[in-house]
Chains A and B, each alone.
Chain A
Amino acid sequence: MKKQIASTFLMILIVGGIAMSVLNFSTKAYARDAIYGTTTRITSILLQSIAYNNGRHISGEYYCVDEPSTCSIVWAN
């Protein structure tokens, strides 16, 4: 009985695995693109919050925004 349960369970795993790979169901991880911008001093709390949530904070009151020129933020995978 135990053997039957174990083999059924294994079969489910194998068939499930094959089905998922055929249907391409897998956990996908997306790395964020690097941000290129211009080092800009932002002191408004509202604009700071937006730039911070955007992932553009460099340090202190400096953020990497606008067209690519003097800064980049690269996200570690």
Chain B
Amino acid sequence: MRKITFLSALLILTNICFSWQVKLIKTISINEDALFVSGFFAVLEDGNLLFTDIRDENNQLKVFNEDGKLIKAWGKMGPGPNEFSGLGFLDYQSPYLAVADAGRNRIHVFEKLQNYEFKKIGEFLAWELSSHIKIYEKNVLMCGYIVSPKGKEYVLFMRDFNGKETKFILPLENRFGTRSMSKQKKIREGVSGLSALAFLDVYQDTVYYVSDVRLRVAKIDLKSKKIEFIGKEPKNFRALAMNKKTRNALLNPQTGKEVEEDIMNRHSFVSGIFADKDFVGVLYVNREKKINNELFFVPHIQIYDHSGKLLHGQPLAPFFSEERFTPLFYQKDERYLYLCSIISGEDTIKYVVYKFSIEP
């Protein structure tokens, strides 16, 4: 009996000592009125935050310090060579910054100099882009929809900084973690009309890709082109699968709002992914936090090792947001995860960045 008690205690202690912890370190409230319509951001080496602001005509790029105070802003909207037409998705991997220009359907590539000076080193067309981007060596990995010269459809592709070479990475049939086009089509029938985003991260030569509606991660080796799938939907992940009647009601402007609200309240969505040398983190959200009769999304994190074994899972409260996607930036060297909460006020939108540490 004593032996069993001792072994049980040892087992519990081992679990506590070796379980992963995701701890909130600080929150950074971005100064009110400093951002118009934003959310996508990157973290610079010194911990300052670089946001794109798609609606600001004079300053499309803004740097905030760790207190949320605006310290630099630049980038006019306009037709000129050094102007932009609506910046959105971005990635920063020192010293390179890649920013997607929605109005021009282009990616601008910059190199960071000193004092937040960025020198433009490239620009290329990216008509096919529709979601997140990530820098890999001197290339930009992009989520979207593209057809190769051979007629094959892809949802992940890569272009070099000069835009000269395109590489096709993830075929359409593997989009939801599926292995065949028929399975992909079946899931698509149930999510069409709401699914619009995909998330990715890259560690060394491996890309991790996940859609916003299924918690199945495609793990792609960029050298060997081998594709594997990892990820398991937990019990509290309620995958979306609409029938035809619901979808028709969703796409009807008269009933769409009500149907969408109902879907958001009852289903879960993937909201981000990030990778490091010994793990892959996947975020999904449930609309479960109620404040004054309004419901907000709360993210949950799953941590897997690279073989796909689930190591840890927990909610990331107190973070909450009204968006079902969670703009995030993961600092690989520091093991810091930054998430941006977006809450609409009466006149402005409030942006708060939550900084978490991830410790094995």
Known A-B contacts A40-B194, A41-B251, A66-B145; the reply to A46 vs B260 at CB < 8 A is no
> Chain B binding site: helix, strand, loop or mixed by DSSP?
loop
B116 close to A (CB within 8 Å): no
CA distance A41 to B248 in the complex (A): 11
A49 close to B (CB within 8 Å): yes
Which residue of A39, A40, A44 is within 8 Å of B325 (Cβ)?
A44
Q: Are B193 and A38 in contact, CB atoms less than 8 angstroms apart?
A: yes
Residue of B nearest to A39 (CB): B251
Set of chain A residues within 8 Å of B55, measured between Cβ atoms: 49
CA distance A65 to B143 in the complex (A): 12
B196 close to A (CB within 8 Å): yes
Residue of B nearest to A61 (CB): B256
Set of chain B residues within 8 Å of A8, measured between Cβ atoms: none
B174 close to A (CB within 8 Å): no
Distance between B332 CB and nearest chain A CB, rounded to angstroms: 25
CA distance A44 to B323 in the complex (A): 7
Known A-B contacts A44-B323, A59-B253; the reply to A53 vs B38 at CB < 8 A is no
Known A-B contacts A33-B127, A45-B37, A54-B102; the reply to A39 vs B193 at CB < 8 A is yes
Interface residues of B in 236-281 (CB under 8 A from A): 250-251, 253, 256-257, 260
Q: Are A67 and B260 in contact, CB atoms less than 8 angstroms apart?
A: no
**Most chain B CB atoms below 10 A, which of A40, A43, A66:** A66
Q: Are A46 and B38 in contact, CB atoms less than 8 angstroms apart?
A: yes
Interface residues of A in 30-77 (CB under 8 A from B): 33, 37-47, 49-54, 59-63, 65-70
